[in-house]
């Protein structure tokens, strides 16, 4: 052995490319969500039960030729709300409490990579939700507008990004216990009177107008316009886009990592 070899130091390996780091974080976040029993109830069981309830009761009569055709767009929008807003908000709030966010923000993943990983996790979980709801709905006689399917996919992505930003805004500015209460209460209120499950025309004139300006109502109306009528609800899309921009900007400015 040469003398020079005794002084050779092991050079630390370079971090993986950013895309690989973000994807790895996204896979980890998604797997964590899917292993959580409470999350599965919120993400899968409740939406399926809601779909069945809307399909067998006369609540949606008069809004389309088939109850299930009118119910599915709202239930898909509810999936985005459940996963992106409530699920991600609660998980991020407690990660922040236990110092996980502060630790990950100092790794090569970085803050931007961490947020991108969370968005990927939400979208991955949403794909699973959509697949399950679609299969159940098809067995119940769902016949979506073919053109609406192409419109509905980007709308769901936009809704997921918007609700993720809103969930992160809450999780990054209040205590975890408050995040838990706010996101759960928000889910109940938006699902019940926020225009996401039921068409805004189902409410009184005042409540319907308010619901149209909420991100929940905008996503619900946009999805119904796409999947039932095969058209783009421009007003709803702009409202949803506005919420997404505002919530993202607010989360970037006020999010606290510890």
Cα 167 to Cα 187: distance, rounded to the nearest angstrom: 11
Query: Is 6 contained in some domain?
Result: no
Q: What is the pLDDT of residue 196?
A: 95
Domain annotation covers residue 240? yes
Overall residue count recorded for the chain in this entry:
258
Q: Domain for residue 7, yes or no?
A: no
Residue 97 CB-density burial (10 A; 0-12 exposed, 13-18 middle, 19+ buried): middle
Domain annotation covers residue 4: no
Q: Is residue 132 part of a domain?
A: yes
Rounded alpha-carbon distances, angstroms, from residue 224 to 8, 147, 198, 229, 236? 66, 12, 10, 7, 11
Per-10-residue mean pLDDT, the chain, length 258: 47 65 81 75 88 92 88 95 89 83 73 80 90 95 90 94 93 90 93 92 92 96 94 96 94 84
Local structure of residue 198 (DSSP, 8 states):
S
pLDDT at residue 95 in the model? 82
Query: Residue 191: phi, psi to the nearest 5?
Result: -70, -35
Residue 4: predicted pLDDT: 46
Residue 123 belongs to a domain: yes
Domain contains 208: yes
5 occurs within a structural domain: no
Q: What is the mean pLDDT of the chain?
A: 87
Q: What long-range pairs does 142-148 form, CB within 8 A, spacing at least 24?
A: 142/66, 142/68, 142/69, 142/72, 143/66, 143/69, 144/69, 144/72, 144/227, 145/226, 145/227, 145/228, 145/229, 145/230, 146/230, 147/230, 148/225, 148/226, 148/227, 148/228, 148/229, 148/230, 148/231
> In which domain, by residue range, is 84 found?
17-254
| Segment 102-129, tens digit of pLDDT | 777 677 777 777 778 888 888 888 999 9
In angstroms, the Cα distances linking 104 to 21, 65, 92, 113 are 11, 50, 12, 9
Count of domains in the chain?
Answer: 1
3-state secondary structure labels for all residues of 34-89: HHCHHHHHHHHHHHHHHHHHHHHCHHHCCCCCCHHHHHHHHHHHHHHHHHHHHHHH
């Amino acid at each position: 052995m040469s003398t020079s070899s005794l002084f050779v130091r092991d050079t630390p390996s370079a971090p993986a490319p950013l895309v690989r780091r973000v994807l790895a974080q996204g896979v980890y976040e998604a797997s964590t969500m899917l292993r959580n029993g409470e999350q599965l109830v919120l993400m899968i069981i409740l939406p399926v039960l809601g779909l069945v309830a809307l399909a067998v009761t006369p609540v949606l009569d008069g809004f389309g030729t088939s109850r299930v055709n009118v119910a599915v767009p709202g239930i898909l929008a509810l999936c985005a709300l459940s996963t992106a807003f409530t699920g991600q908000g609660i998980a991020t709030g407690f990660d922040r409490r236990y110092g996980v966010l502060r630790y990950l923000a100092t790794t090569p993943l970085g803050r931007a990579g961490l947020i991108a990983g969370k968005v990927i996790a939400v979208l991955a979980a949403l794909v699973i939700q959509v697949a399950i709801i679609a299969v159940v709905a098809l067995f119940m006689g769902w016949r979506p507008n073919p053109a609406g399917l192409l419109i509905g996919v980007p709308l769901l992505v936009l809704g997921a990004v918007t609700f993720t930003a809103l969930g992160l805004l809450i999780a990054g500015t209040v205590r975890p216990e408050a995040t838990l209460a706010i996101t759960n209460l928000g889910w109940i209120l938006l699902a019940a009177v926020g225009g996401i499950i039921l068409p805004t025309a189902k409410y009184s004139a005042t409540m319907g107008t308010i619901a149209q300006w909420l991100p929940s109502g905008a996503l619900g109306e946009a999805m119904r316009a796409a999947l039932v009528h095969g058209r783009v609800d421009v007003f709803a899309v702009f409202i949803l886009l506005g919420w997404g921009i505002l919530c993202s900007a607010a989360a970037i400015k006020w999010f606290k990592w510890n």
